[in-house]
Amino acid sequence: MFGRFVILRHNIVFIALLLTFLSFLLRIYLISDQPLRGDESFTIQFSARPLEQVFPEIATVEPNPPLYYLLFNWWVALTGQSEFSTRFFSLLFGVLCIPLVYRLGEVMGRKDVGLVAALLIGINPFQIWHSQDVRLYTLWPAITLFSFIFLILALEKKRSLYWMLYGLFSLAGLYTHYFHAFILLAQNIYFITQVVHWRPSHDAGDKRSMWQKWFALQGTLVLLYLPWLLITNRPTTYHPSGQAPEAFEVFPLLAGTFGVGETVPGEFSLLAGWLLILLSLLAVVAELRKEQRYLLLLLIHILIPALGVYLLSQWRPFFRERYLNALAPGFYLLWGYGLIAIRDRFANGRNWLLSIGLAIFALAAAYSLNNYWNDPAYAKSQNWPRLANFLEKNSGSGDVIIFNYPDPTLDYYYDGSALLLIVPHGFTTPAIKRETVETLWDLINRYQRIWLLPLRHPAWDKEGLVETWLNLHSRVEQRRSPAGFPLLLYIPELVGEEEIQNHLDLRLGDSLQLAGYTLQEEGPILSPGETLPLTLFWKALRPVEESYHVFVHLQDQEGRIVVQQDNPPQEGKYPTNLWATGELIRDEYRLIIPPDTPPRSYHLTVGLYLLDSGERLAVFDTQGNVLGDQITILEIEIE
């Protein structure tokens, strides 16, 4: 009897090790095949800097606590910055989750459930995807599994070592992801339920001792975590990039993503999510007839953090499935309970029905993984290496490459001689817009050619300011699409003083100057129906806060307007509050003389005003004398 038990135990351990090896193969397969995505390249370049630079910026730039970056900084220094070596760091923790989830099932008294959960997490597309991703979303689940294992052992064995290890991994979780606070809350709730309803065999002294240890441990965690919270501002200032689902969507979203991954059509994931919710409910019903404390642990572990993040997402859109990946092992264990329950209820303990259930999971995983590895529609990232190679071959030291969205991946792959810049430098605000124009003005004065990747983002140059500005100040030499990226090559064409036919040098307000104008001929004689082409040349003497309208009026001798054109400069494409200091701006107008205009002499007048109030800017000559609120350019004769 004992021999059979030892053989069975060794077989289970062997299967668990075999699953771990299989999981390793699935995670290392094509690990370097897909280019890095933006968050990965940011993580590599951010963490590769000296530690004395990295640590302060984690508190103000990066939206996660420092532990992952400190570990990864050491890893990059040791292994380098290649796709393989950096992703291998995530792979290690992804593989570690397989024996850990089996071990958690074992300490919960259900090796069979732990083994099924180990298989589910081992072949899971979502976990494989993150095991090949340079972020913290495999480290966090591994730390969480350790904390649950030692929590159960501490409650069962009451050894100080287990309490210390539980506290250590709880602190590590808090320093890995801010949402680990919800997991800690769930563990506190579970502890309270267990101690309050402790079995009668435990005396009052034992219960009092457990309370004392627990409060001492939680107090220590607070004291050790509080310094970081006093240093950082990221939990409250981080720009949210998730969604805000409805309450009924939360668990189907989590179940579908944790079940079949994100590399499947949305309707397939939703269907899988609801089916897995049913499997979870079956597990709950089946286990209610048995020992309930570990089922309660799983449910609290899943429900509390998920609801916490859901509530946060109603305030700001924080909800993403990967932000809750530390809950995923709880789902796999719950599904393991459900599959074992189906086997015991409908197959009398025989494994053929369990095998069918596992085969369904495996087929869904194969479908999702095939999409991930082979279908471009589900590619992790665009082909940045090919774009970088094109730019390296076609740009030179006299060029500048502008990327108008802060994805650092191009910087990771590009190794050419041209300057690579991200413009604008921040989220679109009036101040950033002005800074962007000043930067572009400086660039077209310094560089012979400008390459632009015009990738718009709702929060980052959503109006296409960079492309619009370059279109107004440069000539498009080439339009290319290497690797599917839109790419424009501009040749700067600066407005020169030689283009001004008639110089005026009149100041409007404190910041603007009408440098002059150009007509086809001086003092033209026009007929009704003909067009009067006028080009004004403006200059910003200093930064302009307001957006002014230009008025160009043809007036009779009594001041009545015959024809007019009112709009922001360059037909609204380049408002005055974006002008760069010292920039000469060409501004074209075409007035069509009405057919019924009487033949006589008319005044052509121009000026600037605020649209909301109608207030015009005063006009000053070079000596500072006020000339009124409009400029009479010349007399026009209508025949």
**Residue pLDDT, tens place only, 429-484:** 888 888 898 999 999 999 999 999 988 777 788 888 899 899 989 999 999 999 99
**Residue pLDDT, tens place only, 142-173:** 999 999 999 999 998 889 999 999 999 999 99
The model's confidence at residue 93, banded by pLDDT at 50, 70 and 90, is very high
For 339-429, strand residue ranges (E) read: 399-403, 419-422
Q: Do you know the residue count of the chain? A: 639
Q: Is 18 helix (H, G, I), strand (E, B) or coil?
A: helix
For residue 380, give the nearest of 125, 31, 37 by alpha carbon: 37
Element (H, E) at 228: helix 204-231
Compute the distance between CA of residue 490 and CA of residue 88 in angstroms, rounded to an integer: 41
Amino acid in position 95 = V
Query: 479: phi > 0 → left, psi -120 to 50 → alpha, else beta; which?
Result: beta
Q: Residue 341 phi/psi, 5° resolution?
A: -65, -40
Determine the Cα angle at 456 with ends 454 and 458, to 5°.
170
What value does the mean pLDDT of the chain take? 91
Compute the distance between CA of residue 153 and CA of residue 163 in angstroms, rounded to an integer: 8
pTM of the predicted structure, to 2 decimals: 0.86
% the chain with pLDDT above 70: 95
Compute the distance between CA of residue 332 and CA of residue 358 in angstroms, rounded to an integer: 12
Domains, the chain, in order of start with CATH, read: 12-203+216-378 (no CATH), 384-492 (3.30.110), 497-638 (2.60.40.2550)
DSSP label of 530? -
Q: Are 135 and 39 in contact (CB under 8 A)?
A: yes
**HSE of 453 in the Cβ direction (CA atoms, 13 Å)?**
28
The pLDDT value given to residue 3:
44
**HSE of 201 in the Cβ direction (CA atoms, 13 Å)?**
0
Compute the distance between CA of residue 120 and CA of residue 128 in angstroms, rounded to an integer: 11
Q: 167-181, 262-276, 498-512, 522-536: which has the minimum mean pLDDT?
A: 522-536
Beta strands 487-492 and 449-453, pairing class? antiparallel
The pLDDT value given to residue 593:
92
**Residue pLDDT, tens place only, 478-518:** 999 999 999 999 999 989 899 999 999 899 999 999 999 99
Q: Are 455 and 406 in contact (CB under 8 A)?
A: no
**HSE of 301 in the Cβ direction (CA atoms, 13 Å)?**
23
Q: Are 325 and 130 in contact (CB under 8 A)?
A: yes
Copy the structure tokens of residue 41.
């390249």
